[in-house]
Amino acid sequence: MNEHEPRYVEYALTVEADRTEDVIARLQGRGIEYVWEEAPIETFVTPDGYGFQEAEVEQVVVRAYEETQEELTPEVLERLRIEMTEWMGNLAYSIEARIPQAVTEDPVYQFNAIEIKPDLVIRPPWDEERREGERTIVIEPGAAFGTGEHPTTRHCLELLDELLQEGEAFADFGAGSGILSLFARMKGASEVVAIDLNPSAKSAVEYLMELNGVSGIDVRIADVFAEFAETVDHFDVVAVNIGGQEVIDLAALCLRIVRTDGTLLLSGIVEWIEEQVVSTYSELGWHVTSRLQGDEWVTLAVKKAT
């Protein structure tokens, strides 16, 4: 380490959950500025997957980072731990002291190529490898949802490759990064509408088009019910990769805007709401023609029953 670079010791203090403000104030009194509470998170099931909330616990861990000029040998760390224990008094049940783990690489750059099919691969911009006959989607990891790492995205791409034909019209509800819309244009769709409520989706989709040298995607930041209020029997394929409850709520709209012989690509569905999704569309005269599952996530292609 360069002698001019600051050294830090990381303290992990186990404290009462309802006294974290007192703990932080005491640490700040020692001149420590970098403090954060490691609150435990509990997961619960929702119709669209999982929800997260801070768990109600009696104890939490507070992490603090203190600058020091000393070389952090085991002996120095133990002495600092004892000093911190004395400083905190009865505010901490236990205290550990260690050298913080160095961040050696931006996690974004750990994104590797993802093979959707033998001839269809998602790659980051810095990965210039290509195989003979490979169809390549270039995507910036860490951007909007839809990098291909999640099974719903991969399965939507896999089924879209089978379903969408050149010259057809495609609508992408909850477009996110726009990866499905991009692939639809790459396959030769004559009309591609990517729609999302998030204003950042427009720049995300436009950047994705630039990365891949693709144009012609109609990006709309709008509510789908208002945007397609007058649309009837128009799209050959409509993709809804948002969530199971949204797939149910959008059923009537989707069936109105898709052609009679068209296909709906439904994803973001967790297995515990799949039966409800299938029942909803079955009652409206549509049946499942393809089904893919990764972990608990299900992707369905549905067509009008004949």
Q: What is the mean pLDDT of residues 81-88?
A: 95
Reading the block at residue 59, the tokens are: 């104890």
- The answer as to whether 188 is a domain residue is yes
Evaluate if residue 144 carries a pLDDT over 60.
no
Evaluate if residue 106 carries a pLDDT over 60.
no
For 140-291, where are the alpha helices, taking DSSP H only?
151-163, 179-186, 200-212, 224-227, 244-249, 251-257, 271-283
Residue with more model confidence, 52 or 68: 68
- The answer as to whether 127 is a domain residue is no
Q: What is the mean pLDDT of residues 11-39?
A: 91
- The answer as to whether 215 is a domain residue is yes
- Last residue within a domain, chosen from 42, 77, 98: 98
Reading the block at residue 306, the tokens are: 């004949």
- The answer as to whether 124 is a domain residue is no
Residues 93 and 158 in one domain: no
Residues 43 and 145 in one domain: no
Residues 166 and 94 in one domain: no
Q: Answer for the pair 100, 113: CB distance below 8 angstroms, yes or no.
A: no
Sign of the alpha-carbon torsion through 153, 158, 163, 165: positive
Residues 146 and 92 in one domain: no
- The answer as to whether 205 is a domain residue is yes
Residues 157 and 286 in one domain: yes
- The answer as to whether 123 is a domain residue is no
Residues 285 and 150 in one domain: yes
Q: What is the mean pLDDT of residues 19-40?
A: 89
Residues 35 and 92 in one domain: yes
Residues 75 and 171 in one domain: no
Residue 49 belongs to domain with CATH number:
3.30.70
The whole-number pLDDT of residue 174 equals: 93
Residue 166 belongs to domain with CATH number:
3.40.50.150
- Chain centroid to Cα 112, Å, comes to 16
Helices and strands: H and E segment counts in the chain: 9, 16
What domain range includes position 85?
A: 7-98
Residues 54 and 151 in one domain: no
Query: Per-residue confidence at 1, pLDDT binned at 50, 70, 90?
Result: very low
Domains: count for the chain: 2
The whole-number pLDDT of residue 110 equals: 61
Residues 172 and 279 in one domain: yes
Sign of the alpha-carbon torsion through 86, 90, 94, 96: negative
- The answer as to whether 110 is a domain residue is no
Residues 274 and 187 in one domain: yes
The whole-number pLDDT of residue 297 equals: 94
- The answer as to whether 190 is a domain residue is yes
- Last residue within a domain, chosen from 63, 79, 98: 98
Residues 36 and 158 in one domain: no
The whole-number pLDDT of residue 135 equals: 96
Q: Answer for the pair 242, 248: CB distance below 8 angstroms, yes or no.
A: no
Surface-to-core class of residue 220, CB atoms within 10 Å of its CB (0-12 exposed, 13-18 middle, 19+ buried): middle
- Last residue within a domain, chosen from 47, 69, 98: 98
